[in-house]
Amino acid sequence: MEKKYILISGASSGIGKACAQIFAKNGFSLILFARRIKKLEQLQNELKSLYPEIEVHSFQVDVRNPKEIENAINQFSLGLKNNIHILLNNAGLALDRSTIDKGIIEDWDQMIDTNLKGLLYLSKKIIPIMIENKKGHIINMGSIAGKEVYPEGNVYCASKAAVDSISKAMRIDLLPHGIKVSQISPGAVETEFSLVRYKGNVDLAKNVYNGFIPLKAEDIAESIFFLANQPEHVCINDIIITPTAQANSVFFNKIL
């Protein structure tokens, strides 16, 4: 039987890793991209021993670098290319929280280059394959931060607002090709996200989730799996999902 592949960017931790686990459990073969190849290989070994019937291919790719994306895709076999069903554009990050006047240009560049341009570079390479296959589903990782700006979130919020726009634009442009485009827009999910944002400061990272129960990466993976497994004629455009203790990107019910 033909295998069904999902390509997940940013599969080395958090939501991407949880997605790799749920899709593997449900018989999908995986193409995993991230910079930390050792983490991908470890995940690949775990999933291959749990689910020997699936294929898992890991590639060290920095999505900010179109050449690295191209090199990885050039290694795809024809069978794999013909059977890419889903592209999950998940790789992303926030760096720091500060007012706009105190922002660090290198942080801004990295967020925009990863969250927006990386998503575009990877999509640009996969979309022609999906058009050729006459099928496909692109799922973009937005955020509640892309729906409403919060204090000191400026450039991260802007990068996710751009993902929101690009998701809508892709849905229009890919309409004639029958390619589905969805977005998922989570609130606070406890992953490595805050550790990355606060540049390794464990106390600041933990503090983000104090006083309420955040979402888990697995909660988001369940929703993404649901998105991806609708009947052919159904395209869920967007899922906004928050912890029960979060109303929007600003209001939390924290019990401290």
For ligand NDP, the binding residues (CB under 6 A) are 9-16, 33-36, 39, 61-64, 90-93, 114, 118, 141, 143, 186, 188-189, 191-193, 196, 217
Active-site annotation holder among 156, 180, 209, 254: 156
Q: Which of 19, 43, 91, 145 binds ligand 8X3 (CB under 6 A)?
A: 145
Beta-bridged to residue 37, according to DSSP, are none
Q: Which stretch binds ligand 8X3 (CB under 6 A): 41-49, 129-137, 143-151, 210-218?
A: 143-151
How far from 229 is each of 85, 105, 163, CA to CA, in Å? Answer: 11, 40, 22
Active-site annotation holder among 5, 160, 180, 198: 160
Residue 156 is among the residues annotated as catalytic for this protein: yes
CA 145/CA 53 separation, integer angstroms: 38
Looking at the Cβ atoms of 29 and 183, the one nearer to ligand NDP is 183
CB of 7 to ligand NDP, least distance (A): 12
For 150, list phi and psi in degrees, rounded to 5. Answer: -120, 160
Decide: residue 172, CB within 10 A, 0-12 exposed, 13-18 middle, 19+ buried: exposed
DSSP 179: -
Residue 160 is among the residues annotated as catalytic for this protein: yes
Q: Taken in order 230, 9, 55, 21, is the CA torsion positive or negative?
A: negative
Q: Which of 13, 123, 143, 182 binds ligand 8X3 (CB under 6 A)?
A: 143
191 binds, among ligand 8X3, ligand NDP, none (CB under 5 to 8 A by kind): ligand NDP
Looking at the Cβ atoms of 62 and 131, the one nearer to ligand NDP is 62
249 binds, among ligand 8X3, ligand NDP, none (CB under 5 to 8 A by kind): ligand 8X3
User: What x/- string results for residues 170 through 189 when contact with ligand 8X3 is judged by CB under 6 A?
Assistant: -----------------xx-
Looking at the Cβ atoms of 7 and 217, the one nearer to ligand NDP is 217
108-138 burial, b at 16+ Cβ within 10 Å, e below that, comes to bebbbbbbbbbbbbbbebbbebbeeeebbbb
CA 17/CA 32 separation, integer angstroms: 9
Extract the tokens encoding 42.
Answer: 């470890």
Give me the active site residues, please.
156, 160
